[in-house]
């Protein structure tokens, strides 16, 4: 793994940087041959691309030039966020171009990007970013519903929340609250994060895990819940439920959802599985941690062959011509799918960043 991981991360970073457009927004999809770039937008996944860029700031192996390029790109993202948003009563919400309604996941992922930036000692324009994060947090918290979770959507003109919760957007909002607490010390987020974590486990995971049944809800919540539960465990290690739930989710994704047998890209799953491996090792459960490590290494090596320009790329990619230079570093959603989606690459790069830091670097 060590031999190809650094190459894959460098390629992925280059692809994500190349997805930024002139106005600071992120391109959602790109055909491998560069022709007829789709006009389709997806605000949540584009915001996830911004978070994906910000996550690279934690990489110890990042070169000075890469770090400078990241901050420059993130500055443009910040300008785009503010220019395409609404604000009232100290709350700020995204107003994506061409959108008919807002999705809470967009605000949560923009907030997560700001958390990663503010966690850096060299973060520029810190007061501006702190204010924007506080406004986004206030908005996300205003979207809570009586079930301890979050309304999935909101009205663009007013920011008023609406619609039932979604496992994806709930998980993204939960991770924002938990990570804001741990990385930035925003303790006002702790209680709503803990309450939401209990409510989401009950709504999305507990039954599927107990009955060992496939579940679209559990699959949608999987990596967000695993990442957030790990943050909550770190904040409250005396409360065993967060560790237990993360490990139970890992067992479900491997042995019920059978993620290693899936034919489409499953990079998202390894974000959660690496988190579970860390907790199993911390618990001293050698058999479980070794099984999780093998699953991560097997799955990520397979997915690395789906990256354009990788030395491991599969024969089908090597034989495809022409390939656009902007496609280099992008990751396929499936072997026969010619469209490179920003979220597919972002999730796989995050999993590799976690693998580099924890599996190979042995850092806490």
Whole-number pLDDT of residue 332: 93
Percent of the chain having pLDDT more than 90?
A: 86
pLDDT at 11 over 60: yes
Whole-number pLDDT of residue 362: 62
Please tell me the pTM assigned to this model: 0.96
For residues 303 and 298, what is the distance between their CA atoms, to the nearest angstrom? Answer: 9
Whole-number pLDDT of residue 364: 54
Whole-number pLDDT of residue 313: 83
For residues 43 and 105, what is the distance between their CA atoms, to the nearest angstrom? Answer: 9
For residues 55 and 355, what is the distance between their CA atoms, to the nearest angstrom? Answer: 13
Q: How confident is the model at residue 316 (pLDDT cuts 50, 70, 90)?
A: low
Burial 163-195 (b: 16+ CB within 10 A, else e): eebbbbbbbbbbbbbbbbbbeeebeebbebbbe
Which two tokens mark 100? 């008919």
Under 8 Å between Cβ of 274 and 347: no
CATH value of 2-360 in 3.90.1150.60, 3.40.50.1820, 3.30.460.10, 1.50.10.10: 1.50.10.10
- Three-class DSSP category at 42: coil
Count CB-CB contacts under 10 A for residue 68.
10
- Three-class DSSP category at 274: helix
Whole-number pLDDT of residue 38: 75
Count CB-CB contacts under 10 A for residue 206.
15
- pLDDT tens digits, 142-179: 999 988 899 999 999 999 999 999 999 999 999 999 99
Helices (H) and strands (E) in the chain, counts: 14, 7
- Three-class DSSP category at 157: coil
Whole-number pLDDT of residue 146: 81
Average pLDDT for residues 185-214, to the nearest whole number?
97
Of residues 345 and 321, the one with the higher pLDDT is 345
For residues 275 and 271, what is the distance between their CA atoms, to the nearest angstrom? Answer: 7
Percent of the chain having pLDDT more than 70?
A: 98
The alpha carbon torsion through 153, 157, 160, 164 (nearest 10 deg) reads: -20
Whole-number pLDDT of residue 33: 82
Nearest to 270 by CA among 296, 250, 247: 296
Q: How confident is the model at residue 14 (pLDDT cuts 50, 70, 90)?
A: very high
- pLDDT tens digits, 92-149: 999 999 889 999 999 999 999 999 999 999 999 999 999 999 999 999 999 999 888 9
Q: Tokens 């100290």 map to which residue?
A: 90
- pLDDT tens digits, 202-216: 999 999 999 999 999
- Three-class DSSP category at 356: helix
């Amino acid at each position: 793994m060590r031999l190809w991981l650094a190459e894959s991360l460098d390629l992925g970073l280059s692809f994500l940087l190349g997805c930024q457009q002139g106005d600071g927004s992120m391109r959602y999809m790109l055909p491998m041959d560069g022709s007829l770039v789709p006009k389709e937008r997806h605000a949540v996944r584009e915001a996830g691309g911004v978070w994906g860029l910000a996550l690279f700031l934690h990489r110890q192996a990042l070169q000075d030039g890469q770090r400078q390029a990241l901050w420059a790109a993130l500055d443009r993202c910040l300008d785009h966020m503010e220019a395409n948003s609404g604000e009232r009563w100290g709350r700020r919400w995204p107003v994506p171009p061409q959108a008919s309604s807002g999705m809470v996941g967009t605000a949560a992922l923009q907030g997560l990007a700001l958390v990663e930036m503010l966690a850096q000692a060299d973060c520029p324009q810190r007061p501006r970013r702190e204010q924007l994060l506080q406004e986004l947090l206030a908005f996300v918290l205003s979207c809570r519903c009586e079930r301890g979770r979050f309304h999935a959507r909101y009205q663009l003109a007013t920011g008023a929340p609406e619609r039932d919760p979604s496992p994806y957007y709930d998980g993204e909002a939960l991770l924002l609250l938990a990570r804001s607490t741990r990385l930035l010390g925003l303790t006002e987020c702790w209680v709503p994060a803990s309450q939401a974590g209990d409510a989401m486990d009950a709504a999305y995971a507990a039954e599927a895990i107990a009955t060992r049944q496939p579940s679209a809800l559990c699959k949608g919540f999987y990596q967000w819940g695993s990442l957030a539960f790990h943050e909550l465990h770190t904040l409250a290690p005396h409360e065993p439920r967060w560790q237990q739930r993360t490990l139970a989710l890992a067992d479900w994704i491997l042995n019920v959802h059978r993620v290693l047998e899936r034919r489409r890209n499953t990079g998202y799953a390894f974000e959660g599985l690496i988190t579970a491996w860390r907790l199993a090792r911390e618990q001293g459960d050698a058999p479980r941690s070794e099984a999780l490590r093998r699953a991560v290494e097997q799955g990520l090596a397979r997915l690395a062959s789906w990256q354009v320009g990788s030395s491991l790329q599969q024969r089908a990619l090597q034989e495809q011509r022409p390939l656009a230079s902007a496609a280099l570093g992008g990751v396929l959603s499936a072997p026969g799918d010619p469209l490179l989606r920003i979220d597919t690459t972002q999730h796989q790069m995050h999993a590799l960043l976690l693998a580099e830091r924890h599996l190979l670097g042995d850092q806490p």
